Structure 1
Amino acid sequence: MNDISRRRTLLPDATELPGDPDLAEVAEKLRLMRLLSQQRRYAGRPVPRLPAKAEIVAILSDVVALLYPRHYGPSGLKPERSDGLVAKMLPQLRDRLARQIELEFLLAETAQPDAAHSAARQAANGFMAALPRIRDLHDTDIAAAYAGDPSAKSLDEIVFCFPGVAAALRHRIAHALFGLGATMIARIMAEYSHAVTGIDIHPGAQIGPACFIDHGTGVVIGETAVIGRNVRLYQQVTLGAKRFETDSGGALVKGQPRHPVIEDDVVIYAGATILGRITIGKGAVIGGGVWLTAPVAPGSIVTQARLKLASQPPRG
């Protein structure tokens, strides 16, 4: 039997395909599957509402617009109207964010509505208070990009066009929420940024001032990574875990430091992979394509071994 005949025997004839499905039966099966899933997740308590992903993405976009209204605010915004726009947006954003945080907090098994409402409001207020700090930190990222990339013609170009700078800003927003306990909302924001920029930064990662992610596609920064001041990363850099610790029952131990510590003034070139809770010392330079699982002393230069080509083919 030839390949074409064999494939035909594996595919049903058109006359054997089912007709229109009973959509009521499909809906009932899906309902039962949701019911079983909810019973496993919520252990018999009432099924809570979930935060709205689309609203969280919209809030992220509006926070970016609030921080940089001339770049990401309404089209054609006049500079003299920026202050009024920000003043108007702040209370609206706080209320929208507080509602989403409350929905996240209500997912906890022991959540109480009044306590969740109060804690969410407090977290939203804390985030609003952090906005000047976020803007101040991100301005150092923009300055680092301008100083570190000869192709950059202006600071405005960097704000508009550089994916590494966009990812850093959204990380700083998500990181603030992560620290306030809104970890799911922070993760939604981080994954949206990942989808848009190609740069995957867990919101738990700690990133110091003047971080420049150049090009950026494929960069991965894990949850417990710590990055110091004036660090530059290129595309395809991974700051990952070497292994996952397990408890006596074989379950993963969560929250343990397992990602690298990158000290100040470090440069990590394209494709480098750094794994485990190791420290890359101040001022070190890690070459492209290097694989590291051991600490590096301050000021070191680490590169791949260079291939040596013989001038003549080997004898024998």
Structure 2
Amino acid sequence: MDNKAIIEDIIKHKQLPNLKFRIKDKTEIFTKNLFYTLFDVETPVEENIQLLEVDFKELADLVCWNPEQTCGELWQSYLQKLPRILERLNLDALAIAENDPAANSVEEVYLSYPGFFAIAIYRLSHELYKFGLPLVPRLMTECAHRLTGTDINPGAVIGDSFFIDHATGVVIGETAVIKNHVKIYQGVTLGALSVERNLRNKKRHPTIEDNVTIYANATILGGGTVIGANSIVGGNAWLTSSIPENSIVTHSPTINIKKYEK
């Protein structure tokens, strides 16, 4: 097969006219600039808001494939949400600083904690998800996923003062609901019992009530599973059914000690 035939064959198999990887690149730039605008003291807010509006409208044109959609008009509504998002993120950072003895300052939380970064990008993407903007919210959280190892679907509903410690390996599904003052540790999964396509738009992931702590590598599955308020779920626990408030769930491993004969 000569080069011309190879090229024609490749072109024939590129069947998705809307698959433009610059959408991903532009989303990552938009996300970083948005984060800096909200938190970096050296970033001018007024100037960057204007730049963000331009970037947002370019993204909207790329992802709104239905000609009847006018996604660019969402910017002003989204902009109205930013002060409240920032207020909530400041509560998240404060919760981390107050609960982690390793945190030396709130500034350290903003600059170096992967859990905070993942929460921040989740909150910024969640409002766009609620507006129905296609693709961009998921790409925003995937950017955070790649950088932190924390996978929070933008559709999840998360309350105030949320704390993810260490962050790596955390998975929070699309229909998960997390109330206020919840703490989770590395490796925690809030997932679905089943992933059949016909479960789309149904609640598949658990609900975590107020003041719950979930320790490392615990797995909690199912849309009907509710972890009652003030409960503690120990490390490596596996839950597929609800527990009442004020519960303690532990995993007891079997330990076998080898004896060596001399």
| TM-score of the alignment, normalized to the shorter chain, above 0.5 | yes
Structure 1: give runs of 5+ residues left out of the alignment. Answer: 1-20, 39-46, 71-76, 246-250
Matched, 1:27 2:42: no
Give the number of equivalent residue pairs: 256
Equivalence for 2:170: 219
Q: Over residues 264-310 of structure 1, what are the superposed CA-to-partner deviations in whole Å (9 max), with x where a residue is unaligned?
A: 10000001000001110111000000000010100100001354779
Rounded to whole Å, the distance in 2 between the matches of 1:214 and 1:48 is 38
Rounded to whole Å, the distance in 2 between the matches of 1:129 and 1:288 is 40
1:1-316 alignment runs, 5 A limit: 22-34=2-14, 37-38=15-16, 47=17, 50=20, 52-70=23-41, 77=42, 85-105=44-64, 107=65, 111-112=66-67, 115-116=68-69, 119-245=70-196, 252-277=198-223, 278-305=225-252, 307=254
Distance 1:30 1:296, change over 3 A: same
Rounded to whole Å, the distance in 2 between the matches of 1:57 and 1:281 is 37
Rounded to whole Å, the distance in 1 between the matches of 2:134 and 2:181 is 27
Rounded to whole Å, the distance in 1 between the matches of 2:19 and 2:231 is 48
Please say if residues 233 and 269 of structure 1, whose CA atoms lie closer than 8 Å, have aligned partners that are also in contact. yes
Rounded to whole Å, the distance in 1 between the matches of 2:10 and 2:19 is 19
Displacement of 1:48 in angstroms is 5.1
Q: Over residues 116-174 of structure 1, what are the superposed CA-to-partner deviations in whole Å (9 max), with x where a residue is unaligned?
A: 3xx32331111111110110110011001001110100011111000000100011111
Please say if residues 225 and 260 of structure 1, whose CA atoms lie closer than 8 Å, have aligned partners that are also in contact. yes
Please say if residues 186 and 217 of structure 2, whose CA atoms lie closer than 8 Å, have aligned partners that are also in contact. yes
Instruction: Give the alignment's TM-score, normalised by structure 2.
Output: 0.92
Question: What is the letter of the counterpart of residue 271 of structure 1?
Answer: N
Rounded to whole Å, the distance in 2 between the matches of 1:30 and 1:100 is 27
Rounded to whole Å, the distance in 2 between the matches of 1:64 and 1:308 is 47
Please say if residues 23 and 63 of structure 2, whose CA atoms lie closer than 8 Å, have aligned partners that are also in contact. no
Rounded to whole Å, the distance in 2 between the matches of 1:24 and 1:188 is 35
Equivalence for 1:3: none
Question: What is the letter of the counterpart of residue 191 of structure 2?
Answer: G
Q: Over residues 198-245 of structure 1, what are the superposed CA-to-partner deviations in whole Å (9 max), with x where a residue is unaligned?
A: 001111011111100000100000000000101001000000001135
Question: What is the letter of the counterpart of residue 98 of structure 1?
Answer: K
Displacement of 1:94 in angstroms is 1.5
Structure 2: give runs of 5+ residues left out of the alignment. Answer: none
Equivalence for 1:42: none
Question: What is the letter of the counterpart of residue 305 of structure 1?
Answer: S
Please say if residues 167 and 193 of structure 1, whose CA atoms lie closer than 8 Å, have aligned partners that are also in contact. yes
Question: What is the letter of the counterpart of residue 57 of structure 2?
Answer: A
Question: What is the letter of the counterpart of residue 262 of structure 1?
Answer: I
Question: What is the letter of the counterpart of residue 247 of structure 2?
Answer: S
Displacement of 1:99 in angstroms is 2.4
Question: What is the letter of the counterpart of residue 94 of structure 1?
Answer: E
Please say if residues 116 and 163 of structure 2, whose CA atoms lie closer than 8 Å, have aligned partners that are also in contact. yes
Q: What is the identity percentage for the equivalent residue pairs of Structure 1 and Structure 2? A: 34
SS in 2 for 1:25: helix
Displacement of 1:95 in angstroms is 2.4
SS in 1 for 2:198: coil
Rounded to whole Å, the distance in 2 between the matches of 1:31 and 1:183 is 26
